[in-house]
A and B are shown apart, each in its own frame.
Chain A
């Protein structure tokens, strides 16, 4: 014990000596590095040392200057760990603006927390270190820590600039590996080349080293590409690794798939009673599609999702027999259970590993590895593929939406992993077709009937409204989300069509005292109150980044409004039809009068795309023209008055 204590003191002394040679005074930061920044990463060292397929250690040292309260979160250290890893030696110090060390981190300032209470069961945890004493801005914090791990499925990613409003002065990434386990990596946005030399950490090994200096913070702009596409990054992945008794490799996608297959093999046995139920369930069905539909319906009726992150990095499923009893599970368990039920009736199905999420970037297909956070099911059916999201109680067979659609997934087959793409949704799939009738009174009041059909990605926001809200809550929601100055909702309803491209029809009737505004003998009629669009954000500085219209821009909206004009009223002038055709999208609007009927039609069709920075002005101009046209008003005048106009 005494010996240990002495050693600890020696270590401390060494750090203190080092601290004296380094100067963290804020005055040393050049003004260019504080522009657009809330924090400055002064020094960042990430050392990852792989000693064997079952043993690695990550050593981190970070010095960060917090310029204002927006970056306070970065003065806090969060280190996740689990049953396979251990966090050791968290140290820290806090410095004032002059660079004087004010205090060192105390043990009492380090807390140990459960990872996420939202998960029903989760054995991962994290250590949080935070100084109880807050200094005046700017101040600087330093952290050092080590994480040793026995699970080498995941190697670190180095991306020092992980926030637009962070500048980086110096960052270094060193990976030491045994010669037998060469590092697999991919670089992005690097200007300096890697150095590779003999390792000082691992006998007969190699050390790979990358470095970046002086990365200024990034001006935040609307419709900019994702940060990960713009900043220096090195992705790494293992070759061979061992977790518990399982040996795996990430050399190819086939290998990655093999590992998952073996890890989860033989966990799909179902009790006889359930097997019989499944057979009875599909008895009348002749086709694969029909059987899949029946089994998926049964799953959605019976089973529910509960987040469980236990075991080998959360990658091994609960047995199907357990799910058969409890009727709940996480994505792996429900997918495995569905696969097992399909297996009973001889339909093969494959797990599809995916990086899910509506704003998740696609995986790097050139670096096989465990880049996934979710799994669902793929049922091959001749040319068609039936995709089943087993955690959803509501999704139709085949529809993936923006959670798992339009990206690469890894199919787990007995022959190993196979990389395939999930369907992308086009503007024709993602529509909003609105038709309305508006009967106007001379005072501008109106009774209105609106039917809107939403499909594909555009119907997604309505699913929770239909299934998650009570009638009263739906009414409240409609009142809040309908874009009219004032109205009474007199009736509403929703209808759902479940299909590969699902559709939702919303019908509302309302009355309003102000659709049009009267002034004396005139009635001012805004033509498009329901679907008016807004402008693109105004730029106050020259645009720097490319313009990215992401997949949410793949849509088409059409409106047809039939107005019944009040007796004796007619337009004071005619409105010229408008048609815009740009590389970003097209727009048409027109208003035609037939007797006392005025028919307004409008169509806005957009699509995804990537354009140079200069294109922003054109894009803003297009949006401006659309917004102006959407605001068009027609002036109606009482005919008798027009006839006896002054003079």
Chain B
């Protein structure tokens, strides 16, 4: 959300000055009060302004006052400031305060406590550490960071791993540099002000920004999220435009048209996929071999060619520098590979274009803010049969039209010339499915023998193929033996994983020597054996953030058990059907007897990729009930024949 707006401050910021710690500060508590936090930020602030010297410098003064409660919080007293190759620290001060018998004892940081380290030639860092740190002490430090190169305000984190009582951001931004502010996270600003001012480098005037947050709780990570960065309270800036002497001379990207145009003018973007000069022969081969009527077949042929010829070097990128060299090495990053693919598709006469996106690890893209740096990935886009169709040559196993899991993150922007660029939803079209079918015969000693087959679909298929390809048959078998100690595997059959047209299947011929527990004249076993859910994936009582599974899923288990002669069924688990609200998911479970056979079906479908935090309790309960059901057992009894029981 763009933040530059008028607003009234409802809360007055505390007045805190370096060196003026009082006895009351030792008792200051955050709200809510986490008495067990290792440290608390009592106050922190930054104030930035631009200064006219031989260059225009950006000058930021940072100030922190932290109370250290526990020994594990001592790390707060050692700081590292990255200077880059031209940044400088001006006026660094530090002080430690202890409360002894109602008196404040001060210990000042001296010069020997400050180190400058050249990590590499163009990255210097400054380190400092405070003296006399003990449990219950307050530390303070203040320094001014001067950068002759920066034009964009540094981002500011309101939230940390420890609670914060007050976090304050102020900046006086010369009208030469228009800044766009973006707030992320789930917490509101306590102060949100922006007003014009006459403060000037020359006479251009400026804006004064003031943002603050009071009582920010410590950040808590949770499972099933994209990246913590997306959830932490933070403000970031982007240079919207720069002017000189009040005349707009240089425009930076502030909106989507600017983002689109920047890319469409970049040699390292648009020029790399206009055509694929290095693949000439390949395009004509495809055109000779595949009929022009079958567009999809041509697309697939081009896709298979690029992804089987080229290897991805695991790097994400938006630009490509040296396609010729990449081709030589047969290895490249995301942009290299996908620009090659787009070029090849274009050589086939197809309208292929780049679609830029942000990976799950890289964070969320806000459609309201035109910011190029929020993107780190580019894939190929086509329109087939009037529908969006995406291809990513970095993955050898996804089906045409699917994106790898890492790229499933909200929406991407399709870059088209003539102002036609638009957003395309990346919501997955495929699910993560796995179907297990077992055909087993139970002996009177409790041994089960027969077959177990796995079939995979969608993302399940992609990942299964990948593990077969990466591990190889032998290693895979070794892994399975480790994972399933109860299995004695006599034979394993893996279908051809290189054939993308057929779903991957893995078939075992096996024995489970202790498949059922025999005690006296009874036998007991779990219908899903070791394949049921053994733990609830959701263990925490509550949740702050949405649960992001990335893709919907479907897990099915089907088994047919042939019972030994002379045994009857004494008890069977009852069927169960459950569903989640808003068509979020279903669970179906059934155990049926047919003659001397038992048929078992369990199916768990999760139909939404993302569940809001307020559906968490239901999701947890859903898995809880599945867990209970999967734990139930079948009881067989020696004695009367099966026919009699029926």
Report which A residues bind B (CB closer than 8 A): 111-114, 117, 120-121, 133-136, 301-302, 304, 306, 322, 325-328, 393-394, 444, 464, 467-472, 474, 476, 479-480, 485-486, 488, 513-514, 517-522, 524, 535, 537-538, 540, 572-573, 624, 627-628, 633, 635, 646-647
User: Which residue on B lies nearest to A628, using beta carbons?
Assistant: B514
A519 engages B71 (CB within 8 Å)? no
Contact of B329 among A117, A133, A444, A647 (CB under 8 A): A133
Nearest residue in B to A325 (C-beta to C-beta)? B131
The 7 closest A-B pairs by CB, nearest first: A517-B631, A520-B571, A468-B72, A326-B131, A486-B536, A470-B36, A471-B36
Contact between B38 and A470, CB atoms less than 8 A apart: yes
- A479-B539, A647-B640 as given contacts; A538 in contact with B482, CB under 8 Å: yes
Which residues from chain B contact A325 at a C-beta distance below 8 Å? 131
Distance between Cα atoms of A136 and B327 in the complex (Å): 12
Determine whether the beta carbon of B517 is less than 8 Å from that of A633.
yes
A519 touches B534 (CB 8 A): no
Q: Assess whether B37 is in contact with A519, with CB atoms less than 8 Å apart.
A: no
For the complex formed, measure the closest distance between the CB of B397 and the CB atoms of chain A, giving whole angstroms: 18
Bound CA–CA A538/B481 (angstroms): 7
Counting residue pairs across A and B whose Cβ atoms lie within 8 Å, the total is 151
Within the complex, which residue of A471, A513, A517, A624 is in contact with B633, where a contact is CB–CB below 8 Å?
Answer: A517
**C-alpha spacing A136/B541, complex, angstroms:** 50
* Interface of A, helix, strand, loop or mixed by DSSP: mixed
Bound Cα distance from A540 to B474, whole angstroms: 10
B34 adjacent to A485 (CB under 8 Å): no
Known A113-B119, A485-B627, A514-B628; judge A136-B330 contact (CB<8 A).
yes
* Chain B residues whose C-beta falls within 8 Å of the C-beta of A322 in the assembled complex: 112
B120–A328 touching, CB < 8 Å? no
Interface segment out of the listed B132-140, B401-409, B410-418: B132-140
Could you tell me if A120 and B541 are in contact, using CB atoms closer than 8 angstroms?
A: no
CB-CB under 8 A from B91, the residues of chain A are none
Question: Could you tell me if B134 and A328 are in contact, using CB atoms closer than 8 angstroms?
Answer: no
In B107-136, the 8 Å CB interface with A consists of: 112-113, 115, 117-121, 125, 127, 129, 131-135
Say yes or no for B220: interface residue by CB 8 A criterion: yes
Decide yes or no whether B632 CB sits under 8 A from chain A. yes
Task: Say whether B581 faces chain A, with CB atoms less than 8 Å apart.
Answer: no
B520 touches A573 (CB 8 A): yes
Q: Are the CB atoms of B631 and A485 closer together than 8 Å?
A: yes
CB distance from A625 to the nearest CB of B (A): 12
B71 touches A394 (CB 8 A): yes
Tell which of B78, B118, B573 touches A120, judged by Cβ atoms closer than 8 Å: B78
A519, B132: Cβ atoms under 8 Å? no
Residue contact A111 to B627, C-beta cutoff 8 Å: no
- Please classify the interface of chain B as helix (H, G, I), strand (E, B), loop, or mixed, using the class held by over half of its residues: mixed
Nearest CB in chain A to that of B330: its residue: A136
Asked whether B485 lies within 8 Å of A538 as measured between CB atoms, the reply is yes
What residue of chain B has the Cβ atom nearest to residue A135's Cβ?
A: B329
**A468 — which chain B residues lie within 8 A by C-beta?**
38, 70, 72
Closest to A121 in B: B115
Please judge, given known A-B contacts A133-B329, A467-B71, A476-B540, whether A117 and B80 are in contact too, CB under 8 Å.
yes
Q: Are A304 and B624 in contact (CB under 8 A)?
A: no
User: Please, which residue of chain B has its CB at the minimum distance from the CB of A443?
Assistant: B628
Residues in A whose Cβ lies below 8 Å from that of B485:
535, 538, 624, 627
Q: How far is the CB of B106 from chain A (nearest CB, A)?
A: 13
Residues 55-85 of B, flagged 1 when their CB comes within 8 A of A and 0 if not, give 0000000000000001110100110100000
B11 in contact (CB, < 8 A): no
Decide yes or no: A117 and B117 within 8 Å by CB, A328-B129, A519-B634 being known contacts. yes
Identify 18 new A-B residue pairs, CB closer than 8 A, beyond the known A393-B74, A468-B70, A633-B524: A112-B120, A113-B120, A134-B313, A134-B329, A136-B331, A322-B112, A328-B133, A470-B38, A479-B539, A486-B627, A514-B631, A517-B632, A517-B633, A519-B633, A524-B631, A524-B633, A540-B477, A646-B639
Q: How far is the CB of A140 from chain B (nearest CB, A)?
A: 16
- Give the residue name and chain of the B residue nearest to A535 (CB): B485
Q: Decide: A467 and B72 in contact? CB cutoff 8 A.
A: yes
Q: Which residues of A contact B131 (CB under 8 A)?
A: 325-328
B519 interface residue per 8 A CB criterion: yes
Contact A646 B640 (CB under 8 A): yes
Evaluate contact between A522 and B571: CB separation under 8 angstroms. Answer: yes
Q: Which residues of B contact A524 (CB under 8 A)?
A: 524, 631, 633
A326 lies within 8 A of B132 (CB): yes
**Quick one: closest B residue to A133, CB to CB?**
B329
Closest A residue to B217 by beta carbon equals A472
- What's the Cα separation between A322 and B631 when bound, in Å? 64
Question: Of B36, B71, B572, B640, which contacts A393 at CB under 8 A?
Answer: B71
Asked whether A480 lies within 8 Å of B624 as measured between CB atoms, the reply is no
Q: How far is the CB of B328 from chain A (nearest CB, A)?
A: 9
User: Knowing A468-B72, A519-B633 touch, does A635 contact B38 (C-beta < 8 A)?
Assistant: no
Contacts known (A117-B119, A647-B639); A327 close to B38, Cβ less than 8 A: no
CA distance A152 to B541 in the complex (A): 60
Q: Which residues of B contact A469 (CB under 8 A)?
A: 36, 72
Let me know if A485 and B71 touch, CB within 8 A.
no
B346: CB under 8 A from chain A?
no
The answer to the question of B100 belonging to the interface, with a C-beta cut-off of 8 Å to chain A, is no
- B632 near A471 with CB under 8 A, answer no
CB distance from B547 to the nearest CB of A (A): 16
Q: With contacts A133-B329, A134-B331, A327-B134 known, is A120 near B38, CB below 8 A?
A: no
Distance in Å: Cβ of B52 to nearest Cβ of chain A: 34
**A/B interface sample: 25 pairs, CB < 8 A:** A135-B329, A136-B329, A136-B330, A301-B135, A327-B134, A393-B71, A470-B36, A476-B540, A479-B540, A480-B539, A485-B631, A486-B623, A488-B541, A517-B632, A517-B633, A519-B572, A519-B634, A522-B635, A524-B633, A540-B474, A572-B520, A573-B519, A573-B520, A633-B524, A646-B570
In the complex, which residues of chain A have a beta carbon less than 8 angstroms from the beta carbon of B366?
none
* In the assembled complex, B388 has its CB within 8 A of some CB on chain A: no
Hey, what's the 0/1 contact readout for B602-646 against A, CB within 8 Å counting as 1?
A: 000000000000000000000110011001111101011000000
Which B residues are CB-close (under 8 A) to A646?
570, 637, 639-640
Chain B residues within 8 Å of A464, by CB: 72
List which B125-168 residues lie within 8 A (CB) of chain A: 125, 127, 129, 131-135
B535 and A485 contact, CB distance less than 8 A:
yes
A112-B121 in contact (CB<8A): yes
Interface centre among A121, A486, A628, by most chain B C-beta atoms within 10 angstroms, is: A486
- How many whole Å from A593's CB to the nearest CB in chain B? 15
Rounded to whole angstroms, the CA-CA distance of A213 and B331 in the bound complex is 35
The closest CB in chain B to the CB of A114 belongs to: B119
Q: Is the CB of A306 within 8 A of B118?
A: no
Closest to A517 in B: B631
Tell me, yes or no, whether B478 is within 8 Å of chain A by CB. yes
B119 and A635 within 8 A (CB): no
Question: How long is the Cα–Cα vector from A120 to B116 in the complex, in angstroms?
Answer: 10
- Rounded to whole angstroms, the CA-CA distance of A646 and B34 in the bound complex is 60
Determine if A485 and B571 form an interchain contact, defined as CB atoms under 8 angstroms apart.
Answer: no
CB proximity to A under 8 Å, residues B529-575: 534-536, 539-541, 570-573
Complex interface: chain A residues within 8 A of B234 (CB)? none
Interface centre among B78, B117, B329, B522, by most A CB within 10 Å?
A: B117
Q: Which of A328, A519, A635 lies in contact with B632, CB distance below 8 A?
A: A519
Q: How far is the CB of A110 from chain B (nearest CB, A)?
A: 11
Whether, in the assembled complex, B218 has its beta carbon less than 8 Å from a beta carbon of chain A, the answer is yes
Asked if B330 contacts A470 (CB within 8 A), the reply is no
If A394-B71, A485-B627 touch, whether A114 touches B117 (CB-CB below 8 Å) is yes
A517 close to B129 (CB less than 8 A): no
Q: Is the CB of B571 within 8 A of A519?
A: yes
Q: Closest CB-CB distance, A391 to chain B, in whole Å?
A: 12
Distance in angstroms from A19 CB to nearest chain B CB is 23
Chain B residues lying within 8 Å of A327, measured Cβ to Cβ, are 131-134
Query: Which residue in chain B gives the minimum CB-CB distance to A487?
Result: B539
Interface centre among B113, B121, B127, B633 (most CB of A within 10 A): B633
Residue in chain B with minimal CB distance to A488: B541
* Residues of chain B within 8 A of A328, CB atoms compared: 129, 131, 133
Docked-complex contact A120 and B127, CB < 8 angstroms: yes
Closest chain A residue to B522 by CB distance? A572
